[in-house]
Structure 1
Amino acid sequence: MLWNIDLTLVDVAIVSRDAYAEAFRAVTGRPLVKLVPPMGRPDSEIVFETLAVNGVRAEDDDLPRFLSALAAAFAERKGRLAKEGRAMAGAKDALKAVSRLDGVVQTVLTGTIRSNAVLKLKAFGLDRFVDFGLGGYGEEPYPKATLLQVAQGRAGQRLGTSFTAANTVVIGDSARDAQAARIGGAAMIGVASGRSTAGELRAAGADLVLPDLSDASEVVAAVASLTTPATRKAG
């Protein structure tokens, strides 16, 4: 089970923008004028596009420098997350309810870099339901569909199970999440709580669409309806 984070589980956009602004200044020596909207994209992609729209020609070491600066800037602001951000409606109850399903392991498939992903969920007490070691994160230079397959591979190596579209579910709020699930090989539950409408999520390939996560039993039923028991490798 792979959860998107921003606008699916939490909304910390104000803090994220401030961290980006500080990281941009640290790397370029200039103030940030325009931040590219996330729209389901990974931080690695947002960094390059943000540099470009602000008239900065990217150098070879800009990405690792920017991501390092972003991690530091975000960590400095972690105390603001719960005050200025919010957990999305029903997020904690949905995570808790899904965690009770037999054979389910929850992780994340997110455009956020790993250190920031942990802080975002920890601020709202959501981290205890997630195995961060199996996820896919924004510092990894892959399209989201490939990142999904990377996460499936990590889970397979750890758990000794083959993960396919029959036993992998992505939950996210953007059309990009739905497209990644379709291409990468996973079932998809769209949540119309963020970037994309219910119609856009369906058009992008979501198998099921929920208005939000406020009904935990509805989330559990959706997950159960889209999965079959994993096939454990022999030996």
Structure 2
Amino acid sequence: MLWNVDHTLVDVTIVLRDAYAAAFREVTGRPLVRLAPARGRPDSEVIFETLALNGVVAEDDHLPAFTEALARAFADRRDRIAEQGRAMPGAREALAAVARLEGTVQSVLTGTIRSNAVLMLGAFGLDEHIDVEVGGYGEEVYPKATLIQVARRRAEARYGVPFPASATVLVGDSTRDVQAARFGGVAMIAVASGGSTAAELAEAGADVVLDDLCDTEWLVAAVTRLTSPAGHVAG
């Protein structure tokens, strides 16, 4: 089970925007005027677009420098994450409910860089049932669809058992997440808690669309159905 983090499990928009502004100033020496919207994209894409929107010509060292500065800026604000952010409704209960499914490993597939994703989850006690070692993160060079395969291979190496695409579910809140699931050949549970509407998520091809994560019984039933031989969409 692979979870998107931002706007699926947590919402830390205020702190993250502030960290981006601090990182931008550190890297460019200028104040941030416009921050590119995430829309399910990895931090690497957001960084490049943010530079362009603010009239900065990206150079080879900009991405690693910005990524490192963003990690430091967010870590410096770790005490504000729980104060100014929130766990999404039902997130904690959903993770606990899925953890009770026999043989299930939960990790993340997120556009957020790893250090920030770990801080986000930990701030709200959502890391108890998640193995962050086998996830896919925003600083990695692979597109999200490929990161699904990377995460599956990492889980197989760590746990010594196969995790086929047919037994993998991605949970996310954007149409980009849905597209990644389709290309990656895994089932998709979409949550209309981010920038994409329920109609947009359904049209993009999500197998299941939820308003939130509060109905854990329905979530578990959906996971079970989608990972059964008869319930999974071929891919």
The verdict on a shared fold, with TM-score over 0.5 as the criterion, is yes
Are 2:200 and 1:200 equivalent residues in the alignment? yes
Are 2:84 and 1:84 equivalent residues in the alignment? yes
Q: CA deviation at 1:142?
A: 1.7
5 Å-filtered alignment, 1:40-59, equals: 40-59=40-59
Q: CA deviation at 1:205?
A: 1.4
Deviates more, 1:12-21 or 1:146-155: 146-155
Q: In the alignment, what sits opposite 1:105?
A: 105
Are 2:8 and 1:32 equivalent residues in the alignment? no
Q: In the alignment, what sits opposite 1:232?
A: none
Q: Structure 1, unaligned stretches of length 5 or more?
A: 230-235
User: What code does the residue aligned with 1:210 have?
Assistant: L
Q: In the alignment, what sits opposite 2:126?
A: 126
Report the 3-state secondary structure (helix = DSSP H, G, I; strand = E; otherwise coil) of the residue aligned with 1:129: coil
Report the 3-state secondary structure (helix = DSSP H, G, I; strand = E; otherwise coil) of the residue aligned with 1:189: strand
Q: CA deviation at 1:194?
A: 1.3
Task: State the distance in 1 between where 2:40 and 2:146 align.
Answer: 14
Task: State the distance in 2 between where 1:159 and 1:200 align.
Answer: 36
Name the % identity. 68
User: What code does the residue aligned with 1:226 have?
Assistant: L
Q: CA RMSD in A?
A: 1.0
Task: State the distance in 2 between where 1:187 and 1:181 align.
Answer: 6
Report the 3-state secondary structure (helix = DSSP H, G, I; strand = E; otherwise coil) of the residue aligned with 1:148: helix
Q: Structure 2, unaligned stretches of length 5 or more?
A: 230-235
Q: In the alignment, what sits opposite 2:233?
A: none
Q: CA deviation at 1:165?
A: 2.9
Q: In the alignment, what sits opposite 1:136?
A: 136
TM-score, normalisation: structure 1? 0.95
Task: State the distance in 2 between where 1:203 and 1:157 align.
Answer: 35
Task: State the distance in 1 between where 2:115 and 2:222 align.
Answer: 29
Report the 3-state secondary structure (helix = DSSP H, G, I; strand = E; otherwise coil) of the residue aligned with 2:47: helix
Task: State the distance in 1 between where 2:206 and 2:161 align.
Answer: 24
Task: State the distance in 2 between where 1:118 and 1:188 align.
Answer: 23
Q: CA deviation at 1:199?
A: 1.2
Deviating 4+ runs (over 6 angstroms): none
Report the 3-state secondary structure (helix = DSSP H, G, I; strand = E; otherwise coil) of the residue aligned with 2:171: strand
Q: CA deviation at 1:216?
A: 1.1
Q: CA deviation at 1:158?
A: 1.8
Deviations for 1:97-126, whole angstroms, at most 9, x for unmatched residues? 100100100000000000000000101000
Report the 3-state secondary structure (helix = DSSP H, G, I; strand = E; otherwise coil) of the residue aligned with 2:70: helix
Q: CA deviation at 1:39?
A: 0.2
Q: CA deviation at 1:85?
A: 0.5
Are 2:74 and 1:66 equivalent residues in the alignment? no
Report the 3-state secondary structure (helix = DSSP H, G, I; strand = E; otherwise coil) of the residue aligned with 1:110: coil
- Contact kept in structure 2, 1:71 and 1:116, CA below 8 Å: yes
Aligned residue pair count: 229
Q: In the alignment, what sits opposite 2:214?
A: 214
